[in-house]
Amino acid sequence: MNTILWFRNDLRIEDNPALNQAVKRGASRALFISTPKQWEEHDLAPIQADLIERHLNQLAAQLQHYGMTLVHLKAQNYRDQVTLLNEYCQSHGINTVYANQELELNEQQRDQQLKEYGLELVLFQSIAIAPLGTVLNKQGEMFKVFTPFKRAWLEGIKRQGIDVSPLPQAKHCYYEEDVTSQKNSSKVSDDFELHTSSDRVELDYPKSDSSRWPLSDIVSQQVVPHFMAEKLHLYSQQRDFPAIKGTSGLSPYLAIGAISARAIANQLITQSPELLEDTSHPHFTWLNELIWRDFYKHLLFHYPNLIKGDNFQEKYRHYTWPNNPDYFRAWCEGKTGYPIVDAAMRQLVRTGWMHNRLRMIVASFLTKHLLVDWRWGERFFMQHLIDGDFSANNGGWQWAASTGCDAQPYFRIFNPITQSEKFDPNGKFIRKYLKELESVPDKHIHFPHQYLASAERTETYWPPIVDHKQARLTALDFYKTNVIS
């Protein structure tokens, strides 16, 4: 054996080109190298770490059908990861490593360092639906507006289709001798521990329970078919209402690579090929969300410094946010006095997930009502989200703050009260997370302060942290003074 497979952010069997090639080359081992210090620096949420751990153990069992053993190596950061992988390959006579490309800057630098050791690192692209670097304008550059990107994306898919890697041929065998030989040596060196697929993979990182999210095999076999058959036709009508389970719920699996965006898009287009021609089709709204995901992946590919916290738009790079820490704390704790904002933030902290419409509302509120730097919110999201994904999270926050690529204009400021009235009209979602407002009538639920102030009321709720009208004027003045001029 002189080849090995390296799993990173691609914890799946389906549409995994690196796995497919490794099986063809007869690889009998696959690696996963955990890096808890690096994860901490990257704000990996404990609930996402738990989801990763569960999928690693699922993956270990699945790999047995391909005659492969999953080996878990423990490093601390990417620097140690490079040293460990090189040492492991030298000690096992491995000269070729197959892996799927990762997009972020630290990961790219790590891969380059590994190549400098002399190992052949063969990378495959499976991050985006349309291959990175292929959706370009007439000048050969990345689009800076989503709509023309979408048109070019659709044209490219019509011409070339979606390159989904086939499942490798299963061997239905398991090499016990590999496990035995690995058990006889529990260390690669004095600094790094080795675990095999005969043991349960356990990540040395804080974790919180993700069990309400089923494993990806159940999602692929049951959830996705049910969504496409029963919910997809209503997606465009229901996706903005947080009290309705109208979205696919696939984002946590896409974020850790447990499900392939290419496979999902291919399944959707195969089912409804007219989507490539008819953007008014009800099913296109879901495809459009997948294209937005691709847009932010391609954007990060062309502008890697986004990982460093740069504002995409040059004119926003030299101003300072007021950053009131008390405002930020109230926002984090769901104590702003605006029910839709507070309920959304409590959903995030309690469950590790937040509905997409609510993400836009709370991001707009933090950046434009409270004038807190979008990077503070971006980091808080990553620290709590089960579907934390840098490109999508960064793109969404910069969109809300008006600093990003094709972002909403600075003068577009969501009114949290009217957003609440429109997307949670009966207050069902609010009441689920704000028990203190359970008995408030529908017509008062979106801003209950005057109702609660009446003499006969005993409920208590946080006073509004800012006045919406005044906060809007302050935000407009802030942007005009510090940016536009």
Please give the annotated binding residues for FAD, written as ranges.
Answer: 235, 247-251, 286, 289-296, 387-389
Select which of 57, 106, 356, 482 is catalytic.
Answer: 356
The DSSP call for residue 480 is I
Is 153 among the catalytic positions? no
Q: What is the DSSP string of 252-286?
A: HHHHTTSS-HHHHHHHHHHH-GGGGT-TTSTTHHH
Question: Which residues are 34's β-sheet partners?
Answer: 74
Contacts of 61 (CB under 8 A, 6+ apart): 197
Is 321 among the catalytic positions? yes
CA distance 121 to 113: 10
Is 374 among the catalytic positions? yes
Select which of 87, 321, 324, 462 is catalytic.
Answer: 321
CA distance 466 to 449: 13
**Residue the block writes with tokens 């190298």:** 33
Is 86 among the catalytic positions? no
CA distance 71 to 94: 14
HSE-up of residue 133 (Cα within 13 Å, Cβ side) = 5
- Residues of each annotated binding site: 235, 247-251, 286, 289-296, 387-389
CA distance 192 to 33: 10
- Burial class of residue 173, CB neighbours in 10 A (0-12, 13-18, 19+): exposed
- At residue 132, the 3 state secondary structure works out as coil
Select which of 104, 202, 289, 421 is catalytic.
Answer: 289
- Please state, as a whole number, how many other Cβ atoms lie within 10 Å of the Cβ of residue 272: 18
Q: What is the DSSP string of 57-100?
A: HHHHHHHGGGT-EEEEEE-SSHHHHHHHHHHHHHHTT--EEEEE
Residue type, 364: S
Return the percent helix, strand and coil in the chain, to nearest 5.
55, 5, 40
Select which of 292, 331, 376, 399 is catalytic.
Answer: 292
- At residue 30, the 3 state secondary structure works out as strand
Select which of 39, 374, 376, 399 is catalytic.
Answer: 374
Is 20 among the catalytic positions? no
Residue among 124, 125, 140, 134 nearest 157 (CA): 134
Select which of 213, 376, 397, 399 is catalytic.
Answer: 397
Cβ 172 vs Cβ 70: under 8 Å: no
Catalytic residues: 289, 292, 321, 356, 374, 397
